[in-house]
């Protein structure tokens, strides 16, 4: 049983509390879903539960959070970790080792489990979460979706009483979501308490028991499973939440002529030293928004880095049939990375947007479009994952490049902010930019893309 009494938390340097929960009880063995728009307090609550607040996120913490009559706010992160397993919104931040098997074994070793038992548990977890063939891999060489599955596996290796997950499907493909769904159902059946902050809600309809809606750090609404499933998509949209079901992409192919075209031929696609396949040819034309899809680990991010000039390769690259150097391509291109924290360097949101070189008026307008106006004085790392995503996107769009590639641009975004991103992508299309979106977000693809390319259809053996 988790009990919360008079809980409040204000991040250091902030005036308004990020969390205010007078009372809450979560019974053991329940699966609870935290919903609400980006920055509403969901991640902050999870950080209190797993002890990252106030140890790693300093501020003023008041009140009590008890697990089986023990006050978590008076325990160290190490003590809490024995009871609470965590999957972060950005899994890269929770890894300690270079190799997957070492990362997975560490929580069990820390608890003094026998080597034979650890190895047996590793093999079971490997199968349950689709990690076959990855135990010997380096974490730095995995895709974003593969890293999320490793983070979930590491949390399970702790054998916790409670599992907290922050946007666990943000970068997962359909297979990864199905594996997660089955795994959560199994863990719940074993008696684990599961608390998930999530925007993509369809896969949770069978496993979730309760839904809590956060606004400005407070729980404003709650629904039982039966009440939640009775809500219409229109009602969910009124709360800024995603619909439960999204239709498959279906659009007639858009024909354009006389626009800019980026083309490559004869590319052997690699991720570090691993050969992923050969692309005979691949091209993108302005005036069209392309969606690039495919399984986690297929090479979508690697291809993006080639197309923007971040990766030097032996292939023939042309812009409007003219040969293009890597430096010239870099000057034309903008890439929004999957892990946006790697692209945020400055002390305030205002400074990040100003660094694009845009005018004051352009920065102000972009902040308004992305609902960042009230956050301009904030440090980017004090923001939620969804807010950081919007900051990095705003800076990229303000740079006024000719080629834009966005890698999972809506991970961590609620319905309203996802639609803001969709509107900005459509503006890019109308301004004759080349735009490609790498995404597993079917709703974004349906709203914005004119053509969907599955990378597996282009990769062959040379």
Per-residue pLDDT of the chain (462 residues; tens, 9 = 90+): 899 999 999 998 888 999 999 999 999 999 999 999 988 999 999 999 999 999 889 999 999 999 888 898 888 888 888 899 988 877 777 888 888 889 888 888 877 888 888 888 888 888 888 787 788 888 888 887 888 888 888 888 878 899 999 999 888 888 888 888 988 998 999 999 999 999 989 999 999 999 999 999 999 999 999 999 999 989 999 999 998 888 888 776 666 665 899 999 998 888 767 788 898 999 999 989 999 999 888 899 999 999 999 888 777 889 999 988 888 999 999 999 888 888 899 999 999 999 988 999 999 999 999 999 999 999 998 888 788 888 999 998 898 899 999 999 998 788 988 998 999 899 888 888 899 999 999 999 999 999 999 999 999 887
Q: Where are the alpha helices (DSSP H) in 88-143?
A: 100-110, 115-128
**Inside any domain, residue 389:** yes
What residue numbers bound the domain in which 107 lies? Answer: 2-238
Residue 64 has what pLDDT?
A: 94
Does 428 lie in the same domain as 296?
yes
Residue 109 CB contacts under 8 Å (≥ 6 apart), including other chains: 118
- Give the CA angle between residues 366, 387, 91 to the nearest 5°: 140
CATH for 13:
3.40.50.300
| End-to-end alpha carbon distance in the chain | 58
Count the Cβ atoms, other than its own, within 10 Å of residue 210: 18
Cα distance between residue 294 and residue 21, in whole Å: 41
Cα distance between residue 282 and residue 314, in whole Å: 14
Instruction: Name the E strands within 167-231.
Output: 193-197, 210-215, 218-224
Quote the distance between the C-alpha of residue 342 and its chain's center: 13
Taking every pair of Cα atoms in the chain, the longest distance, rounded to a whole number of angstroms, is 70
* pTM of the predicted structure, to 2 decimals: 0.85
**Inside any domain, residue 318:** yes
Backbone angles phi, psi at 410, to 5 degrees: -110, 15
Cα distance between residue 424 and residue 419, in whole Å: 9
**Inside any domain, residue 230:** yes
Residue 246 has what pLDDT?
A: 84
Does 200 lie in the same domain as 318?
no
Residue 154 has what pLDDT?
A: 87
Does 350 lie in the same domain as 453?
yes
Residue 209 has what pLDDT?
A: 97
Residue 141 has what pLDDT?
A: 81
Residue 254 has what pLDDT?
A: 67
Does 315 lie in the same domain as 186?
no
Cα distance between residue 172 and residue 257, in whole Å: 35
Does 204 lie in the same domain as 115?
yes
**Inside any domain, residue 245:** no
Dihedral sign of CA atoms 399, 402, 408, 414 in order: positive
Edge to edge, the sheet with strand 333-336 lists 333-336, 403-407, 434-438, 289-293, 451-454
Report in angstroms the alpha-carbon separations of 46 from 53, 87, 200, 227, 447: 9, 10, 17, 24, 31
**Dihedral over alpha carbons 49, 50, 52, 54 (to 10 degrees):** 40
**Inside any domain, residue 218:** yes
Does 227 lie in the same domain as 289?
no
Residue 257 has what pLDDT?
A: 62
Residue 47 has what pLDDT?
A: 94
Number of domains in the chain: 2
Contact 212, 40 (CB under 8 A): no
Does 36 lie in the same domain as 96?
yes
Strands 451-454 and 434-438: unpaired
Does 230 lie in the same domain as 283?
no
**Inside any domain, residue 251:** no
Does 427 lie in the same domain as 294?
yes
**Inside any domain, residue 305:** yes
Does 207 lie in the same domain as 265?
no
Q: Is 261 exposed, middle or buried (0-12, 13-18, 19+ CB in 10 A)?
A: middle
Report in angstroms the alpha-carbon separations of 364 from 95, 180, 376, 413: 37, 40, 9, 21
Residue 290 CB contacts under 8 Å (≥ 6 apart), including other chains: 284, 435, 436, 437, 449, 450, 451, 452, 453
Does 274 lie in the same domain as 230?
no
**Inside any domain, residue 255:** no
Count the Cβ atoms, other than its own, within 10 Å of residue 77: 14
Structure tokens at 66: 């008890």
Q: How many Cα atoms occupy the beta-carbon half-sphere of 438 within 13 Å?
A: 31
Does 266 lie in the same domain as 156?
no
- Torsion region of 456: left, alpha or beta (phi above 0 gives left; psi -120 to 50 gives alpha): alpha
């Amino acid at each position: 049983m988790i009990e919360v009494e008079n809980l409040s938390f204000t991040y250091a340097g902030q005036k308004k509390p990020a969390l205010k929960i007078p009372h809450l009880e979560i019974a053991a063995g329940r699966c609870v879903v935290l919903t609400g728009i980006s920055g509403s307090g969901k991640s902050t609550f999870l950080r209190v539960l797993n002890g990252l607040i106030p140890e790693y996120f300093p501020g003023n913490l008041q009140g009590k959070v008890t697990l089986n009559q023990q006050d978590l706010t008076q325990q160290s992160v190490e003590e809490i970790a024995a009871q609470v397993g965590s999957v972060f919104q950005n899994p890269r931040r929770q890894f300690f080792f270079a190799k997957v098997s070492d990362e997975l074994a560490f929580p069990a070793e820390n608890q003094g489990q026998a080597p034979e038992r650890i190895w047996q548990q590793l093999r079971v977890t490997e199968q349950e979460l689709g990690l076959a063939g990855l135990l010997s891999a380096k974490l730095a060489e995995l895709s974003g979706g593969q890293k999320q599955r490793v983070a979930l596996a590491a949390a399970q290796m702790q054998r916790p009483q409670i599992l907290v997950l922050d946007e666990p499907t943000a970068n997962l493909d359909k297979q990864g979501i199905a594996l997660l769904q089955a795994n959560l159902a199994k863990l719940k059946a074993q008696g684990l308490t599961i608390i998930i902050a999530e925007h993509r809600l369809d896969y949770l309809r069978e496993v979730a028991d309760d839904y809590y809606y956060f606004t400005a750090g407070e729980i404003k609404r709650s629904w039982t499973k039966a009440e939640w499933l009775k809500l219409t998509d229109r009602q969910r949209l009124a709360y800024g939440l995603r619909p439960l079901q999204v239709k498959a992409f279906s659009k007639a192919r858009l024909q354009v002529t006389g626009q800019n075209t980026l083309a490559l031929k004869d590319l052997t696609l690699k991720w570090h030293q691993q050969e992923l396949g050969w692309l005979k040819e691949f091209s993108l034309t302005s005036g069209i928004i392309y969606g690039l899809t495919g399984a986690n680990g297929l090479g979508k991010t690697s291809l993006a880095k080639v197309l923007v000039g971040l990766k030097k390769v032996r292939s023939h690259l042309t812009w409007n049939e003219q040969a293009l150097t890597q430096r010239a391509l870099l000057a034309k291109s903008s890439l929004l990375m999957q892990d946006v924290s790697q692209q945020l360097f400055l002390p305030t949101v205002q400074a990040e947007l100003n660094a694009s070189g845009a005018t004051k008026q352009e920065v102000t307008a972009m902040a308004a479009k992305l609902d960042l106006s009230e956050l301009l004085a904030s440090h980017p790392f004090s923001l939620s994952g969804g807010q950081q995503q919007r900051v990095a996107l705003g800076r990229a769009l303000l740079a006024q490049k000719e080629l834009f590639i966005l890698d999972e641009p809506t991970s961590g975004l609620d319905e309203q902010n996802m639609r803001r991103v969709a509107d900005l992508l459509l503006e890019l299309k109308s301004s004759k930019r080349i735009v490609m979106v790498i995404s597993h977000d079917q709703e974004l693809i349906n709203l914005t893309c004119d053509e969907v390319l599955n990378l597996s259809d282009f990769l062959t053996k040379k």
